[in-house]
Amino acid sequence: MANPKQEIKYTKLFINNQFVDAKSGKKFATINPATGTKLTDVAEGDKADVDLAVKAAQQAFARGSVWRNMDASARGKLLYKFADLIERDINILANLESLDNGKSFSDSVFDINCAIDTFRYYAGWCDKYHGNTIPADGPFFSLTRKEPIGIVGQIIPWNYPILMAAWKWGPVIATGCVSVLKPAEQTPLTALYLAALTKECGFPDGVINVITGYGPTAGQAITAHPDIRKVAFTGSVEVGKLIMEGAAKSNLKKVSLELGGKSPLVICDDVNLDEAVEIAFNAIFANHGQNCCAGSRTFVHEKIYDAFVVKAAKLASERKLGCPFDAATQQGPQVDEESFNKILSYIESAKKEGAKLEFGGKRFGTVGYFIEPTVFSNVTDNMKIAKEEIFGPVQSILKFKTLDEVIERANNTSFGLASGIVTNCINTALTFAQAIEAGSVWVNCYDAVVPQAPFGGYKQSEFNFIKKYFFLNQQYKN
C-alpha cells in the first residue's frame, strides 16, 4: 500500500553481492521532488568503485565460474524467481519509486508490473538463443555459437528507474553476461533495493553490481573502462555523444544508445475527436511529460483544429496534481529543480515567440517541483518548443492541411524515436507508417510498449537499434 514514510534500507554501493561504502567515503543527497527535502544520503561511487565492481564482474564471468557453468535454463529460473520477489515487494518498491522520482504511486505500480513482465519475458529466452548450421563448400561442417559479450556497463535515467533497470538487466542476464549498472543520481533507491533482491534469489557474486554516483565520475569511469566490453545508455543526445567518444578512445567497446526525441503525433480529420484528444493528451502528459517517446508535437488537421484545441485545454484543466501518494493524483512533480526550471524557461520562450497559451504555464503550489499541464496552440515549426525536447508537461499543437505536408514536417527533425497517427483510414495509416522516420509508429494509440516487440530509432535518437516497430490499435473506432 502507499506509504510516504517507507523505510529506506539500502544506501550503499552493491559490489560482489555486498553493500559497501564508497572508497572515498563520499555521499550525496537524494531529494523528494514533491517537497524539495532530502530523503537520505547515498554512497557516491567513482572510478575506484567502478574498478572494484569490474573486478567482481570479471571473476563472475571467468571461465569455469559458477555463472559461466550455469545451465541456461537455470538462469531462466533465477529470472523468474527475481520477478516473483519483485512482485512480493511491489508496494515497497512503488513507495521508494514515488518518493525518489515523484510519480504517482499508481504509476509506480504500473511501471513495476511492466518490469516484472519484462523479466519473465527474458526468463523464457534464456535457453532459446540458438546458433546455426551453415552449408559449406567442400568436406566441412560449419556452425555458429552465440556467446555472451562479457561485462556490460549500463547507465540509466531517472524517468522510469525500475523499468529501465529491467530493460537493461533482462537481456544481460538472459544471455549470460554480467553487469555494472549506474542508476541516475536523482533516483538511486530502487536500483539498490533490486540489487538486494538479486542476492536474495541466488545470483552468484559479481553478476550484478550497482554503483550510485554522478555521470562525469562514475558514468565516465564505466564508459572508459578497458575491461568493460559494452556500454548501454539511455539519456540525452549530449551525453550519448560523450559515451561514444569514451568508448572509442578506450577499447572500442560496443555501444547501445537510446537518446532523446521530439515525436510527432498526427491527428487526421476523420477521427473520433474525443478519443483523439485523449490519445494525444496521454501521449504528452504521461509520466509528467518526462518520456523520451512523448508525443510532444501534436499535428492536428485544419478542419478540426479549433475544436481539438478547446477539448485539449479542457482535459488539461481537469488533470489532478498533488502528492504522489494521494489516490486522486494524476500528476506529481518534475524530478528535480533543474528540470523544473528548464521546463518553465521553455514555456516562457513559447510565449515570447507567439504561441497562444490555452491552459497552464505556471508553477503549481508553493512546495516541490510541480508544473501545471500546459497547452499551447498556434505553434509553428520554427519555435523552440517545436524543435527542442522539453521533457515536461507541455503540449504543442500545430496545424496541417495534407498528409504529404505533415509527413515532411514531422520528419524535419534531428530526432526519430517515436511517432503516431490517429485516423480511420488504413491507407493513410500505412502511408504514414512507411514514410515516417521513427523507430516506433503507433496507430490510434500511443506508447504501446511490450516486451515482445523491438524498439528502435532514427537519426540522433538511437544508435545500434535499427528496427521499425508498427503497432495498430484494432479496437479504435470512429
Which member of 44, 97, 185, 258 is catalytic? Answer: 258
- The cell for 190 is 530502487
232 grid coordinates: 548501454
> Alpha-carbon distance 321 to 282, whole Å?
15
**CA–CA distance, 418 with 439 (Å, rounded to integer):** 6
Contact by Cβ (8 Å): 192, 14 = yes
Residue with cell 510519480: 103
Residue 310 contacts residue 346 (beta carbons within 8 Å): no
Is the four-CA dihedral 407, 412, 416, 420 of positive or negative sign?
Answer: negative
The angle at the Cα of 307, spanning 304 to 313, to the nearest 5 degrees, equals: 130
C-alpha cell at 6: 517507507
CB 129 within 8 A of CB 175: yes
Q: Is 258 a catalytic site residue?
A: yes
CB contact set of 16 (below 8 Å; sequence gap of 6+): 52, 53, 56, 59, 205, 206, 209
- Give the CA radius of gyration of the chain: 23
Which residue, 57, 53, 18, 50, is CA-closest to 178? 57
Please provide the DSSP assignment of 381-443 as one string. Answer: TTSHHHHS---SSEEEEEEES-HHHHHHHHH-SS--SEEEEE-S-HHHHHHHHHH---SEEEE
Distance separating alpha carbons of residues 367 and 333, to the nearest angstrom = 10
Cell of 422: 490517429
Which residues are catalytically annotated? 258
